[in-house]
Structure 1
Amino acid sequence: MSILKVFNTLGIVNAEQQEEWRSTQPQRRPQRTDVRQRLLAAAADEFTERGYAAAKLTDIADRAGFTKGAVYSNFDSKQGLFAELLAQRSLDLAARVLAHVSDLDPQAAAGAGGGEIASWVVAEPRWPLLTVEFGILAGRDPVIAERYRTDRRALRSELERLIADRAVQWGVGEAFDARRLAMSLAALISGLAVEHSVDPEEIDRSVIADAVSELFAGAIARAQLD
């Protein structure tokens, strides 16, 4: 039993004194992984509220409860922080979609996959738009462009791997062009997200779901013909 508990049992200290005592004790230093995850969570809120260009590392650090130095000890730059966050979100979506269709036949999977992606675009419209904003900035800034290319290629490569694994389970692995589908899917989602943000009544969930499902269905059909 701690000294504080002993004193409390004996009636030597009251609740207010206990709280004051705790406030004077050294706090446990957060683990590096905890700091990193808190910074990523704070960055997600800051980027979605302000956009990539307007978001500031100082504000992200404040929101997470750290100093700006904590950001730089975990990420090499604002671009690096955003790129990791975006890759994390994108791969989480891909894994969720593929898990959702894992027990379905190819045709049913095409429809279910389209619906899952459409739901994400409608529920979190700012994330695809942030990707577009980052891409536009990359077209003007060579430093951002280098980071954008590197991370987008890595993302497409991982997406290609996930799709290829699923194609093998569907029995069309050898003929399935996973690379082509990964590239087309990434571009299609970005375009549909922009259109949805401008005209959500016309480009609604069903339109997005149909477009993505048709892309999947076409890729599967071509593989089955080969």
Structure 2
Amino acid sequence: MTIASAPSGDDDPLGGRLLEAAVVEFAERGYAGARVAEIARRAGVTTGAIYSRYRGKAELLAEAIEWATDDEFDRLFTDHRFAGRMEDILRIAGQHLIDRDENADSPSPGGGLLLESFAAARHEADVSRLLRTHLLERHSRLRQIVDAAKSTGGIDPAIDTTALVTFCYALGLGFLLLEVVDLEMPERPSWEALIERLLAATAAPGALDHARAEVDGVS
């Protein structure tokens, strides 16, 4: 498993080594099986170096999860082209998730860590708070996209924003679950046809045809 470069290595090399070691330990043993002594060994320090910075394993691993999974959240729920139009909703609910799977040579390590962190959140308050913060941040972004599309006529204003945002979350996290077990995904045209059918029920007249043309134009 390849782990990203340690964060803030120049400013805080020890902190970077601790986080990197914690992520590797967490990935290999899961949250419950991870050991502070093993994290210290991997980082080349004593356990005292860890306890001088963190109250315990939960706090250290919560920070490590935040570092390791932040990009994974963004890959699931954001895209640099989003501007609050119906074509943006089409991308968030369909195309970029299929593209993400097709472009991956193997399941994402970050995806596995994200799933581990969701499991740990059932028992660890620090991890639960961390994931809730991440989800609320992205929930706010998606609400802005949906509300902007409503204001420009791309989405029927009668559609409940929370319901549509939840739909997007369910798709994103569902793809993550399937990716981790390497389950076969639908062909992109078939998936997009289904998403277009669903979005047609939420779109203002003519909005979906315009959105399809916009998406095809940048694919």
Structure 1 length normalisation: TM-score?
A: 0.58
Determine which of 196, 199, 203 is the counterpart of 2:184. Answer: 203
Gaps of 5+ in 2: 1-8, 206-219
Aligned to 1:118: 101
> Hey, what's the Cα distance between the residues in 2 that align with 1:178 and 1:39?
41
Q: Give the total of aligned pairs.
A: 187
1:45 matches 2:24: yes
Aligned to 2:60: 81
Change (3 A) 1:123 1:180: farther
Does the 8 Å CA contact 1:42/1:64 hold for their aligned counterparts? yes
> Hey, what's the Cα distance between the residues in 1 that align with 2:201 and 2:69?
26
Higher helix share: 1
Matching residue's letter, 2:43: A
> Hey, what's the Cα distance between the residues in 1 that align with 2:66 and 2:103?
15
Q: Could you tell me how far 1:90 is from its partner in structure 2?
A: 3.7
Greater C-alpha radius of gyration: 1
Q: Could you tell me how far 1:220 is from its partner in structure 2?
A: 9.3
CA RMSD of aligned residues (A): 4.2
Q: Could you tell me how far 1:157 is from its partner in structure 2?
A: 0.8
Matching residue's letter, 1:158: E
Q: Could you tell me how far 1:160 is from its partner in structure 2?
A: 1.5
> Hey, what's the Cα distance between the residues in 2 that align with 1:45 and 1:37?
12
SS in 2 for 1:163: helix
Identity of paired residues, percent?
24
Matching residue's letter, 2:184: I
